Amino acid sequence: MRNISCFRQQKLKGFTLIETLMVNLLGSALILLFLILFSNCLRFYLAVNLLSEELENQRYGCFFLRNVFVGVNSVRGLDGGEVHSKGLPVKRLTDAIEMTIANENQIKKVILYVGQSPLNPLNSSLFMKQQGKPRIETIAKIVDMRALYGLKCAKSQNVCGYVGFSSGIDWSQVISLKLTLFSKDNLIAKPWSVYIAIKKKH
């Protein structure tokens, strides 16, 4: 009889309420730690991915801008009135540039500006528009463009300084251009600039 009661006592023995709560608390803490680590890893991955896309966009942008200005004989800035008179959906408070390419057969006018993306109205891009042709989306995720114009020195072919848009600029004296583009993801990557030489046709 004594052996049977001892067996029953050993059989009924299990975890106490405090031990069960401690196990549940430890399990919850481990799950929470895993979720925090997973969330941090996901944020790091997304940040690296956005930075990689932005750097690739900058490399392509520099390549495109340096090539699109090859053969350009002159540039001039456009004010808001001129831009809207041409029917272009230019984003407000951004600069727009008109390039002139003079060949033996014809003279082409090309406008570079920041406008609303046709695929996503919430995004904007850098567009290029040639007269008589549809606009072309060139660099995506560009929210602003700032242009500075390099003026030729009086006694040399060097640039004396860069100035912003003004109606009083003598555009025939502009021999260089500094374009600064602002990306949608500027919290990750800073604005970037490219310098372009304007080769005058003599």
Per-residue pLDDT at 69 exceeds 80:
yes
Return the percentage of the chain with pLDDT > 90, whole number.
2
Tell whether the model's pLDDT for residue 202 goes beyond 60. Answer: no
Q: How close are the terminal C-alpha atoms of the chain, in Å?
A: 120
Residues contacting 38, CB < 8 A, separation 6+: none
Residue 4 has pLDDT above 60, yes or no: no
Per-residue pLDDT at 149? 92
pLDDT for 160 equals 87
**DSSP-based three-state secondary structure for 61:** helix
| Listed residue (161, 147, 59, 164) closest to 111, CA to CA | 147
- Write the pLDDT tens digit of every residue in 104-133: 677 888 888 888 877 777 788 889 888 888
| CB 82, CB 109: distance < 8 Å | no
Query: Tokens 């030729």 appear where?
Result: 152
Positive or negative: CA dihedral 3, 5, 8, 9: negative
Query: Does an H or E element contain 102, and which?
Result: strand 96-102
pLDDT of 13 higher than 70: no
Could you read off the pLDDT of 28-40 as tens digits, one per residue? 888 988 889 888 8
The 10 Å Cβ neighbour count of residue 26 is 10
pLDDT at 8 over 60: no
pLDDT bracket for residue 188 (50, 70, 90): low
**Using only C-alpha atoms, what is the Rg of the chain?**
32
How far from the centroid of its chain's Cα atoms is residue 17's Cα? 57
Length in residues, the chain:
202
**What pLDDT is recorded for position 10?**
53
Amino acid letter, 180: T
Residue appearing with tokens 């390039």: 99
pTM above 0.95, yes or no: no
Look over the chain and give the mean of its residue pLDDT values, rounded to a whole number.
80
Predicted confidence (pLDDT) per residue in 143-180, tens digit: 888 899 999 888 888 888 899 887 688 888 899 999 98
